[in-house]
Every structure is written in structure tokens, then in C-alpha cells.
Amino acid sequence: MRRIAAVALAAGTLMAGMTAVSAPANATPAQAPAKAAAAKKWAPYDSYSNISAWGTYTRGSKVYVTGYLRDGKKNGWTACVRFLFKEGSKGYWSRHKIIGVRNGVEYNFDGVATVKISASSSYNDHLYVQECGRNKKTGKYVYGKGKTLF
């Protein structure tokens, strides 16, 4: 058993040495690994009182959005925010609202709350954000002014 461990250790050492020898000593920036995209902040225009959203996004081959959605008051409206990811003439909407759960049943929450949101898309030409609200009585959504992020 000791011989197998010794052979495995020697083989591992040999492979590590070959890897170190085969790596270029003077790697140019084109050969260096790509850095992760820097996160940028986002927030929609403040279209409605008591509704706010904010966060960060990163743009690379995919767009990743993370952040928070806050409803500041019980007023008959559920807070929401939506994003539009565009690539050419194609678009993808991603809407986020605050959902409550009571006795295992989901409902549109109306009251003071803050939730974490996230979305991603491979559509990476343009990104837009809009603040919105959902009326608890009618179920209809109203949307604020859209904001271009990139």
C-alpha cells in the first residue's frame, strides 16, 4: 500500500512540475485570464411614493441584476419593479413583486417589506428598469417612466 501511495505522490509531483514548466513566464494581457465585469449601480426613476428599488448589475456575455425592492406603506398597492433585457429586436421582460404567503397560499403583499431580487439574461445589448405598482383591488399594474441603464 505504501508503494501505491509513493507512486501516486511521485506522479502528482511530476505533473505539477510539468504544469509549472509549460506555463509561459511572460504572459501577455491577451493570454491573462479575463477579469470579472465590474458591478454598476441601478435604480429606477422614483415614480411612486413608498416604492423603491435599487441594486447592481454586471454586463458580460450575460447580464446579471441583483438588488432590493421595498414597499414603504400599506396603501392598496403591491410594490414591483421590472427590467427589459434587449438584444437586437428581441426583448425579455423580468418583473419582480413582493409576494406574501399565508397558510401555504401566495398573495400580493401590501405593507411594509423589503425583498431581495435577482434576474439574468443572455440578451445583453440594452437594459432598462421601471418602477411599478399593482392595485390590490383591480389587479392592474401601473408603470413609471423607464430608465435606460445601458
CATH code, 57: 2.60.40
Domain membership of residue 88 as a residue range: 40-148
Residue 95 domain-assigned (yes or no): yes
pTM: 0.72
Residue 11 predicted with pLDDT over 90: no
Residue 17 domain-assigned (yes or no): no
pLDDT at 38: 86
The DSSP string of 3-28 is HHHHHHHHHHHHHHHHHHHHS-SS--
Residue 111 domain-assigned (yes or no): yes
Residue 23 domain-assigned (yes or no): no
Residue at 30: amino acid letter: A
CB distance 121 to 59 below 8 Å: no
As a whole number of Å, the end-to-end CA separation of the chain is: 61
Residue 23 predicted with pLDDT over 60: no
Number of folded domains that form the chain: 1
Q: Which three cell numbers stand for residue 92?
A: 425579455
Residue 90 predicted with pLDDT over 70: yes
Beta bridge partners of 85: 92, 127
Residue 19 predicted with pLDDT over 80: no
pLDDT at 36: 60
